[in-house]
Structure 1
């Protein structure tokens, strides 16, 4: 591993990684600032308003060596305020006076440099020119302050969001100069790329480290980050070998499933998130958050699960890390002392989830995490017969509660999704089913990669809007893939339907196509299923879903190859074009992707479109999947009737015969 080193200069110092200047600090342009913070944090249903009023803000213009360390102060003779220490590729940063808990660092930027990463970003793949607060939260509804939908949701619960809101932020970025930087801290932070001359990192903590990486090419850099954070196991054959059908209509779900199968759909799983019962709210049809079989809604579920298994269809459910205070498991956790507490008493802290309250299982207590992993997920889910589930939420940890280990909730908030993922992974490992049972999460932070086998892109609005529609699924997969997440997928059809915004047949047809060319294809009925079209709402929609599920199933050998490659190299299944064609013109392309190295997918993500421009990179022809026509590299307008999204493959690919067999599939 390459090592960092300091070099003093007449007017300051530089931090070098071999011969690369990582930062330069001078008296006229200090690279470090400190202050004492005064945070103002408000939360409503996982939506956060975060402000700060820093005091004693100082630019640290004077640097001197103290042994192997650099110490920084305001001026000659003043007490040092910051100490820098090097450990291999880590720059360890610590405020000397612990009252200073805000630090700003300016890293050197190269002219014209592009930046990616930030976790799972929904609006922008290229982060250049913008700032990105790093705080896990609800992603927002609309996420665009110019739209009426965003305004209405802001009025209701300050939940309209903005371009940086995400379930899965991560303070890690890569640059087109083939350098990567990771902030090793769970504190609230900001990645600020608004100034082309520097990359600023703001950290609300006085003791942290920056990790620096360089590589000869972008794929190696992505692989290094994947090694750093941990790689997912290969996806099981059943999860990639057909569609997972999401239905939540109780016992009637099985009748509907039979109609979907009879229409020719390749089905590998039935996902009934309402297996634990429902709770009707003004937001829509919610679930009853007590994680065990609801026999009233699914009277003969054990037999149903066994019958499905004989047909090669797995059963999946739903769980999240909170317990409704009117449920049985809440009382169990309360009696055992497994719930997070209020700061002003020993009463359990209750979180408002919108017309019902829940306790927070305190995962900083190892006994509580073990209880949830074994008693809830192990016994009630895995032993019952589930092969997978949505492991929802993880973003809601308030900052005004009391945790078992005494940790600061402001520092634990971003870590919470990682602990949640660990509980799920631990349950699966305890039953010997790692690599077979699959849970999927929307929440995340640094380190979730080592535990979570599959991401899903969260709760998109049921539309084509720029910042919250179907297109954000692509950005989510590509950005998350660059920081160590090999597999991503989305709710076919989207999820959030509010204020009259409902699915169109056009949206459903196009989302089925996108699902077919994702590692996992899974449908969702959304938060208001009765108001929205479903995959079986018409013969045309059912036929489209069936055809696309057949395409997805037929691609399973190729996806198996990509999954095995991800385990070996850390490269994601869905890749930005620049991962294999490192050209400036491709650095901001986020509406198409490479599906491995051999296939290119350009989904239709605009309403009522019958075609689109597609960039074919490189210097060799690409073959159109549906017609077999070869097109030269460059930009082409490609027609795309329903069932034939713009997809191309390399004619010299070892999988070319498989791809060619799809010409008659749709």
Structure 2
């Protein structure tokens, strides 16, 4: 794609077509450099981060050099002074790259300003749970625990903050990414793993801050949002197609031991519940903590909890039910695998070379050092292959990629503050390589909550993390919709969540209604999976109520009936990089009313899903995009697009609409039966 460098008086502009990507003048410079001293403290995956900026200097002088190979932009503070930053500009098939050629060594901060339009919308920055349209706010980009409640105005968040520094805020996320998509139909990606803060609060510019000099800035452009998402997906790597067995029903998350799992499975069959898999994270054993029931982080089968598991897995497979487990990249120091890794030198060390342990809440763990190729290979073969795949597991939750501490020493010698954001992608690659070497790509699977640039290439399936067991605005059911939409635009096609939420603290417990509304939404996602939560005994479980059991069984059968649609959308994801859950504007970019909608989605081009995310609701309002008419799934009533409509939404009838006249209309309307 060709770019244009335009200079008028003292104003310089970089354009692709009619889109202005960079604008600079002495009065309004686009680059600032500086020096800062950061303070970063981690407590169980939560970070207190502050910065003291010693100096910030505007680079007002720009010298432009251009030849047949591209262009060179040299920025200085004043005319006649030495350049402080030099970028080389190169055309790419789908845009333009600014490659950093030189940065004066005294600077460790960069602020880049990009031109903005007053009514521009911005999306992306990884998996954002609170706000889909990012305008009007700033977003620090640092992988961490998202927090409990994530809303400083609520009592729940206050309680989490004062007891464990874990309340979080709207921008905290397991999966940040220094990439955003603009309604001007371009994507900007910064190639860096440093802490960053993207500020979209100004009408006429976006200011991107970095705590190290990025390697490059990549602008990707297209004529439509659908094309742009495809370009972005290709850039970060297409995910493999979903295993077909995931659409055989719900994956039941159970952690009460083998007898409990057998009982619930038998009851599920009696109730007509479609089951694709059992996900028993406690296959490795449990330990009791003040947070609740935690797993024993020594990634091996524990016969005490699952005495007949070796024989049971092939029995389940004969019944077309898979068995999945749990793993993360840390080893508890009271387990055998920790000692094995320690003896071989596979663990990260303290800065002085001594033993390094992380406090995970009443137990300590070592960090497997994936920057050491031998350690990564050991984890892939010794744990993921021998203890899991060879044992018969068809997959696992690959948890805790966001936890890398910043005060340890890694084998590659890179500062842990620069490796912290990179860690989720390295963790995903370890899991993907183990499955690939076992010849099970596309059959065995794993799902992650943590991410960063490039995780798309390795992680086959995102899960939304540890939502609270409620309908709350910033940590409840609706946040997983926002997370699916924001991450989907950046090439993460498959997304799901714990049905009913996970985190139950300070008396906040799951209700039957919450579980049912969550299940209604989950039926229209990549996969359905339950979780008993961090405190199973205090929270409602679907098998405790006959009415909820029947409702859930119906939703699983609905999900199975959607299998042809899901398979078709998965093929589309492989071919074009489009997510299964899509923001409305992806297919209706002419309707600007769709640009900020974050609590409903298109499931492919022909289904519109508007999940109920409030307690006590019996009807629900949904916006229908202009340009098509829509048929209410349950009543068949036709509604013209371009308006908000209210429909009855009793339990069991989630607000879903079929695009009138689509090729699948009769099939989709038949789902109501």
TM range (shorter): over 0.9
| Corresponding residue of 1:510 | 517
Tell me what 1:26 maps to. Answer: 25
2:619 is equivalent to residue 594 of structure 1: no
Q: Distance in 1 between matches of 2:562 and 2:31?
A: 51
Looking at structure 2, the residues matched to 287 and 5 of structure 1 have their Cα atoms a distance apart, in angstroms, of 57
**1:235-282 superposed Cα distances (whole Å, 9 cap, x missing partner):** 111112211011110022111111112111000101100000001100
> Could you say what secondary structure the match of 1:265 adopts?
coil
Partner of 1:11: 10
Which position in structure 2 is the counterpart of 1:631? Answer: 639
Deviates more, 1:253-262 or 1:571-580: 253-262
Q: Alpha-carbon deviations, 1:364-416, whole Å to 9, x = none?
A: 11111111111100110000000111001110111111000101111110000
Does structure 2 retain, via aligned residues, the 8 Å contact 1:95–1:207?
no
2:655 paired with 1:646? yes
DSSP-derived class of the 2:543 partner: coil
Distance 2:386 2:5 in 1: 54
Counterparts of 1:221 and 1:517, CA distance in 2: 24
Paired with 2:379 and 2:606, the residues of 1 have a C-alpha distance of: 42
Is the Cα–Cα contact under 8 Å of residues 287 and 296 in structure 2 kept in the other structure?
yes
| Residues 30-56 of structure 1, C-alpha deviations (whole Å, 9 max, x = no match) | 111001121110000000111111223
The answer to whether the aligner puts 1:160 opposite 2:159 as a matched pair is no
C-alpha displacement of 1:335: 0.7
Please give the alpha-carbon distance, in whole angstroms, between the structure 2 residues aligned to 1:381 and 1:657: 43
How many positions carry a matched residue from both structures? 662
**Mapping 1:244-263, distance limit 5 Å:** 244-251=251-258, 252-263=260-271
Alignment of 1:407-556 (within 5 A): 407-556=414-563
Kept in 2: contact 1:23–1:107 (CA 8 A): yes
Which residue number corresponds to residue 76 of structure 2?
73
CA–CA distance in structure 2, aligned partners of residues 509 and 157 of structure 1: 31
**TM-score (normalised: structure 1):** 0.98
Q: Distance in 1 between matches of 2:663 and 2:246?
A: 23
User: Which residue of 66, 86, 90 maps to 1:87?
Assistant: 90
3-state SS of paired residue (2:181): strand
Q: Distance in 1 between matches of 2:630 and 2:431?
A: 42
The question of whether the paired residues in 1 share the 8 Å contact of 2:628 and 2:660 is answered with: no
Aligned equivalents of 1:658, 1:347: Cα separation in 2: 63
Q: 2 CA distance for matches of 1:332 and 1:655?
A: 56
The separation in 2 between residues aligned to 1:616 and 1:96, in whole angstroms, is 50
CA contact (8 A) 1:94 1:207 kept: no
Q: Do the aligned residues in 1 keep the contact of 2:190 with 2:214 (CA within 8 Å)?
A: no
Query: Residue 58 of structure 1 aligns to a residue in which SS?
Result: strand
Specify the alignment match of 1:43 in structure 2: 42
Deviates more, 1:96-105 or 1:166-175: 96-105
Shift of 1:12: 4.5
Q: What secondary structure sits across from 2:299 in the alignment?
A: coil
Q: For 1:30-429, what aligned pairs fall within 5 Å after superposition? A: 30-65=29-64, 68-88=71-91, 89-93=96-100, 96-251=103-258, 252-344=260-352, 346-429=353-436
| CA displacement, residues 565-613 of structure 1 (integer Å, 9 cap, x when unaligned) | 1111111000011100112111110111000001011100011111111
Q: Note the C-alpha offset of 1:631.
A: 2.0
Contact 1:124–1:475 under 8 Å retained in 2: yes
Does the 8 Å contact 1:95/1:206 carry over to 2? Answer: no
- Cα distance in 1 for partners of 2:2, 2:114 equals 17
Instruction: Please name the residue that 2:566 is paired with.
Output: 559
Q: Is the 8 A contact 1:247 1:524 kept in 2?
A: yes
Could you tell me how far apart the structure 2 residues matched to 1:271 and 1:25 are?
54
Structure 1 unaligned blocks of 5 or more: none
Question: Contact 1:268–1:314 at 8 Å: present in 2 too?
Answer: yes
Structure 1 residue 116: deviation in Å?
Answer: 0.5
Report the Cα distance in structure 2 between the residues aligned to 1:58 and 1:12, rounded to whole angstroms. Answer: 19
Q: CA deviation at 1:304?
A: 1.1
Cα displacement (A) at 1:546:
0.6
Residue 80 of structure 2: SS of its match in structure 1?
coil
Q: Partners in 2 of 1:5 and 1:323 — Cα distance? A: 53
Deviation at 1:3, TM superposition (A): 4.1
The 2-side partners of 1:95 and 1:52 are apart by: 24
Shift of 1:662: 1.8
Q: State whether residues 36 and 56 of structure 1, in contact with CA within 8 Å, keep that contact through their aligned partners in structure 2.
A: yes
Q: For residue 617 of structure 1, report the CA deviation from its aligned partner.
A: 1.2
In structure 2, how many angstroms separate the alpha carbons of the residues matched to 1:70 and 1:628?
60
Contact 2:253–2:280 (Cα < 8 Å) also in 1: yes
Is this contact kept in 2: 1:109–1:197, CA < 8 A?
A: yes
How big is the shift at 1:6? 3.8
Aligned CA distance change for structure 1 residues 631 and 66 (closer, same or farther; 3 Å): closer
**Counterpart mapping for 1:562-577 below 5 A:** 562-577=569-584
CA distance in 1, matches of 2:14, 2:415: 31
Change in 2 beyond 3 A, CA 1:655/1:359? same
Contact 1:558 1:655 in 2 (8 A): no
Cα displacement (A) at 1:321: 0.6
